[in-house]
Structure 1
Amino acid sequence: MSAVQMPPAQKAAVNGIELAYYEVGPRRGVPVVLCHGFPETAFSWRHQLKALEAAGRWAIAIDGRGYGLTSRPPRVEDYDMEHLTGDLVGLLDHLGVEKAIFVGHDWGGFVVWQMPLMHPDRCAGIVGLNTPFQVRLGMDPIALFRKVYGDEMYIVWFQTPEEPDALLAQDVEKTMRFFMRAGEGLKPESQPQTQGRSSFAFGETLKRYDPKADQRQLLSDEELAVFVEAFRRTGFTGPINWYRNFTRNWQRSEGLPQRIDHIPCLMITAEHDPVLRPSMADGMGEHISDLETVMIEGSGHWTQQEKPDEVNRVILGWLGRRFPG
Structure 2
Amino acid sequence: MSFPDPTLVEANGLKLAVYEQGSGMPVVMCHGFPELAYSWRHQMPAIAGAGFRAIAADQRGYGRTVDASTGKIPAEIEAYDMEHLTGDMVAMLDSLGIDKAIFCGHDWGGFVVWQMPLHHPSRVAGVIGVNTPFMPRSPIDPIEAMRLTMGEDMYIVYFQKPGAADRLFGDDIAKSLRFWYRKSAVTLEDFDNAAPDAAKNLALAKLFEIPESEWGGGALLTPEEAAYYEEAFTRTGFTGGLNWYRNFTRNWERSTDLPQRVDVPCLMISAANDVVLRPELADGMEEFCPDLEKHVIADCGHWTQAEKPDELNALIIDWLTRRFSE
Same fold (TM over 0.5): yes
Give the CA deviation at 1:209. 3.8
Moved more, 12-21 or 183-192: 183-192
Counterpart residue number, 2:56 = 61
Give the CA deviation at 1:212. 7.9
CA distance in 1, matches of 2:252, 2:213: 36
Counterpart residue number, 1:173 = 174
User: Residues 210-269 of structure 1: CA distance to partner in whole angstroms, max 9, x if unpaired?
Assistant: 1586551111111111111111111000000000000000000001001112x1000000
CA distance in 1, matches of 2:172, 2:195: 21
TM-score by length of 2: 0.93
CA contact (8 A) 1:191 1:202 kept: no
- Compared with structure 1, are the counterparts of its residues 320 and 75 closer, same or farther at alpha carbon in structure 2 (3 Å cutoff)? same
Backbone CA RMSD of aligned residues? 1.6
Paired letter, 1:320: T
Counterpart residue number, 2:5 = 8
Task: Select which of 251, 261, 284 maps to 2:253.
Answer: 251
Paired letter, 1:40: E
Counterpart residue number, 2:70 = none
User: Residues 259-318 of structure 1: CA distance to partner in whole angstroms, max 9, x if unpaired?
Assistant: 112x10000000000000000000000111210001111110000110000010000000
CA contact (8 A) 2:147 2:157 kept: yes
Q: 1:1-325, aligned counterparts within 5 Å?
A: 5-26=2-23, 29-71=24-66, 72-184=73-185, 190-193=195-198, 198-210=200-212, 216-261=218-263, 263-325=264-326
Listed as ranges, the gaps of 5+ residues in structure 2 are: 67-72
TM-score by length of 1: 0.94
Paired letter, 2:301: G
CA distance in 1, matches of 2:217, 2:143: 33
CA contact (8 A) 2:28 2:54 kept: yes
CA contact (8 A) 2:184 2:217 kept: no
Paired letter, 2:307: E
CA contact (8 A) 1:34 1:60 kept: yes
Instruction: Find runs of 4+ consecutive structure 1 residues off by over 4 angstroms.
Output: 185-191, 211-215
Give the CA deviation at 1:56. 2.6
Give the match's secondary structure for 1:128.
strand
Counterpart residue number, 2:69 = none
Give the CA deviation at 1:156. 0.3
Percent of aligned positions that are identical? 54
Paired letter, 2:13: G
Give the match's secondary structure for 1:238.
helix
CA distance in 2, matches of 1:311, 1:166: 34
User: Residues 23-43 of structure 1: CA distance to partner in whole angstroms, max 9, x if unpaired?
Assistant: 0012xx320000001111011
- Compared with structure 1, are the counterparts of its residues 61 and 157 closer, same or farther at alpha carbon in structure 2 (3 Å cutoff)? same
Listed as ranges, the gaps of 5+ residues in structure 1 are: none
User: Residues 55-107 of structure 1: CA distance to partner in whole angstroms, max 9, x if unpaired?
Assistant: 23211011110000011100000000000000000011001111000000000
- Compared with structure 1, are the counterparts of its residues 279 and 212 closer, same or farther at alpha carbon in structure 2 (3 Å cutoff)? closer
Paired letter, 1:312: N
CA contact (8 A) 2:183 2:217 kept: no
- Compared with structure 1, are the counterparts of its residues 239 and 213 closer, same or farther at alpha carbon in structure 2 (3 Å cutoff)? closer
Paired letter, 2:9: A
CA distance in 2, matches of 1:42, 1:94: 18
Paired letter, 1:220: T
User: Residues 159-216 of structure 1: CA distance to partner in whole angstroms, max 9, x if unpaired?
Assistant: 01101101111111110111111113695754535xxx92211011112241586551
Give the match's secondary structure for 1:13.
strand
- Compared with structure 1, are the counterparts of its residues 211 and 11 closer, same or farther at alpha carbon in structure 2 (3 Å cutoff)? farther
How many residue pairs are counted as aligned between the two chains?
Answer: 316
Paired letter, 1:231: F
Paired letter, 1:20: A
